[in-house]
Structure 1
Amino acid sequence: MKRIYSKCLCIVILLALFGAYACKSPLGKYTSPKGYDLTKPDKFNMPSSLLEISGIAFHDSNSDTIYSIQDEEGKLFRQKWDVKEQKNMRFGSRGDYEDVSIFHDRVFILKSNGALYSFPFSEAVKEKSDVVKETKHLVPKAEYESLYADAATNKLYILCKNCPIDKKAKTVTGYILDYNPSTDSLVNSGSFKIDLKQLKAVYPKFKNDLRASAMAKNPKTNEWYIVSSVSKLLVITDDKWNVKEAHHLSSSIFNQPEGIAFDKDLNLYISNEGDELTDGNIIKFKYTPSSK
């Protein structure tokens, strides 16, 4: 009986040790960019209508209202932080919509095939807009998920997720569009490339294609923040697209990162698509100047 009791006690102790180890936070191994702590998010769970949330954006960097899309319905959603109730405006039929950006009081939405949908920001409060402009064929046929509209330069940036041109080149290609507010027109004005060999140099564990899912420019440093859901990475480049840093993202925090944005206080927001077990969410990382 004593022998059985001793065995049971050992098993209990081992299970307790295993449980303690399993529950111990592994986040100490994750790094963060200067000014942020990617292990300490403020999480805002989405309603069921935004389970598949993708891109997020602010108007004039004001965080009082979050604008978002999800990748099945042609709707622009809006809601206050930490308030699940959302309102939305229909801009298109069902489709694979990936990112949203707002500048010059105009909303731009990127479809996965590279098509752009745009309309005046004033339309966002309506139930449906009848003045949506669809622009096609500005970028080569491929798969895209990342869009950023830069009000300072009147340019839109679109980054490839899966482009034929990058298949053997170990690069990620992006395209630059010039926007003319007076004529509400876009023209392709060039391209740029991110060298994946540079990414490998700063993050030796990198093995796969980047498969970028969202991008944003840090308004303080002018660095590009690029998030990849597939690679679970946050990649930071300088304003010339040279890779400076790469941070592995914890899957316990970043379920499926699909959107990224900064507010006027430099706080960083990343949206995560949900699944059968997890709500979609937006997580906020407070900017702390002293953080390293």
Structure 2
Amino acid sequence: MKRIYPKCLYLIIVLALFGAYACKSPFGKYTSPKGYDLTKPDKFNMPSSLLEISGIAFHDSNSDTIYSIQDEEGKLFRQKWDVKEQKNLKFGSRGDYEDLSIFHDRVFVLKSNGALFSFPFSEATKEKSDLVKETKHLVPKAEYESLYADAATSKLYVLCKNCPVDKKAKTATGYILDYQPSKDTLVAAGSFKIDLKQIKAIYPKFRTELRASAMAKNPKTNDWYIISSVSKLLVITDDKWNVKEAHHLSSSIFNQPEGIAFDKNLNLYISNEGDELTDGNIIKFKYTP
């Protein structure tokens, strides 16, 4: 029997440990909602113009073209999946634009102060639109990043990121707006609240604020999917805003999640803002029944 020298033995031990570690999934502590695996994304890196990508949306849930905004320029971007080249429509001056939704052939963009910009979807292929309408003062003065337009009900939902009303209440408040297509008008139509204690009960590491950065409705279940970049959480509620699930997001996959959308095949898309070291991206999670 050959003698194994100490250095060789040390090397064998190191290699064995490395092999054992390599076989162990680094995402073992992360969970996913039914039908999705949040540890296996299909990643699409954005061009430099979308380093600070925020909201994303599809027209009629068709994923052939992705529409997006970024939070410094008043532009609506459009591109094909996995094609970096983008074209854009200028709809407003520089500002803090946070989320995007499309329904009734109209585009809606949410500014962080709660103002809403809208214009016909037919304008999306132009370089600049003169048909942009800005609507203010439909929601209280606060900070907002989450918008969803529901074609089935003709309602828009705007969720607080940082609202004074939530400071001591342990809630996240949202506002409902009725859209009247014939008049192209938005009307305040009530509010809703998410009880943050329900998140704490499911996910004990949750602190005190949700600080939502985007929201979308799952078209199959009607559940709300709400992401928080600050808390690195995906929170799922039923259609009455009762919390059902909370999933901790891996920072190695979700750099800074700022947008969320579903396509007609129920695939889930989440956009991440980039930084000095990381490109902005959109990650896709295929729906598996």
Q: Structure 2 length normalisation: TM-score?
A: 0.94
Aligned equivalents of 1:144 and 1:19: distance in 2?
A: 46
Aligned to 1:28, the other structure's residue is in SS state coil
What is the CA deviation profile of residues 34-92 of structure 1, one whole-angstrom value per residue up to 9, with x for unaligned ones? 11111111111100100100000000000000000000110000000000000000000
Aligned equivalents of 1:193 and 1:48: distance in 2?
A: 37
Matched, 1:92 2:92: yes
What is the CA deviation profile of residues 252-277 of structure 1, one whole-angstrom value per residue up to 9, with x for unaligned ones? 11110000000000000000001111
Q: Is the 8 A contact 1:65 1:79 kept in 2?
A: yes
Q: Structure 1 length normalisation: TM-score?
A: 0.93
Aligned equivalents of 1:13 and 1:116: distance in 2?
A: 61
Q: Is the 8 A contact 2:196 2:208 kept in 1?
A: no
Match of 1:204 in 2: 204
Aligned equivalents of 2:18 and 2:208: distance in 1?
A: 32
Aligned to 2:201, the other structure's residue is in SS state helix
Match of 1:34 in 2: 34
Q: Is the 8 A contact 1:180 1:186 kept in 2?
A: yes
Aligned equivalents of 1:87 and 1:217: distance in 2?
A: 27
Match of 2:240 in 1: 240
Aligned equivalents of 2:226 and 2:121: distance in 1?
A: 25
Match of 1:263 in 2: 263
Aligned equivalents of 2:160 and 2:106: distance in 1?
A: 23
Identity among equivalent pairs (%)? 89
The Cα of 1:25 is off from its aligned counterpart by 3.5
Q: Is the 8 A contact 2:225 2:234 kept in 1?
A: yes
The Cα of 1:20 is off from its aligned counterpart by 6.7
Matched, 1:153 2:153: yes
The structure-2 alpha-carbon separation of the partners of 1:218 and 1:12, relative to structure 1 and needing over 3 Å to count, comes to same
RMSD between aligned alpha carbons?
1.7
Q: Which moved more, 1:69-78 or 1:10-19?
A: 10-19
Gaps of 5+ in 2: none
The structure-2 alpha-carbon separation of the partners of 1:193 and 1:14, relative to structure 1 and needing over 3 Å to count, comes to same
The structure-2 alpha-carbon separation of the partners of 1:165 and 1:282, relative to structure 1 and needing over 3 Å to count, comes to same
Aligned equivalents of 1:261 and 1:23: distance in 2?
A: 33
Aligned to 1:68, the other structure's residue is in SS state strand
Q: Is the 8 A contact 1:68 1:77 kept in 2?
A: yes
Aligned to 1:199, the other structure's residue is in SS state helix
The Cα of 1:24 is off from its aligned counterpart by 5.0
Q: Return structure 1 stretches of 4+ with deviation > 4 angstroms.
A: 5-16
Q: Is the 8 A contact 1:214 1:228 kept in 2?
A: yes
The Cα of 1:19 is off from its aligned counterpart by 9.1
Match of 2:113 in 1: 113
Aligned equivalents of 2:57 and 2:253: distance in 1?
A: 20
Match of 1:275 in 2: 275
Match of 2:46 in 1: 46
Aligned equivalents of 2:84 and 2:265: distance in 1?
A: 23
The Cα of 1:94 is off from its aligned counterpart by 0.6
Question: How many residues align structurally?
Answer: 285
Match of 2:102 in 1: 102
Q: Is the 8 A contact 1:208 1:231 kept in 2?
A: no
Q: Which moved more, 1:275-284 or 1:23-32?
A: 23-32
Aligned equivalents of 1:124 and 1:238: distance in 2?
A: 33
What is the CA deviation profile of residues 92-111 of structure 1, one whole-angstrom value per residue up to 9, with x for unaligned ones? 01110000000000000000
Aligned equivalents of 1:169 and 1:13: distance in 2?
A: 55
Aligned equivalents of 2:25 and 2:75: distance in 1?
A: 38
Match of 2:179 in 1: 179
Aligned to 1:27, the other structure's residue is in SS state coil
Aligned equivalents of 1:20 and 1:130: distance in 2?
A: 61
Aligned to 1:266, the other structure's residue is in SS state coil
The Cα of 1:284 is off from its aligned counterpart by 0.5
Aligned equivalents of 1:118 and 1:236: distance in 2?
A: 28
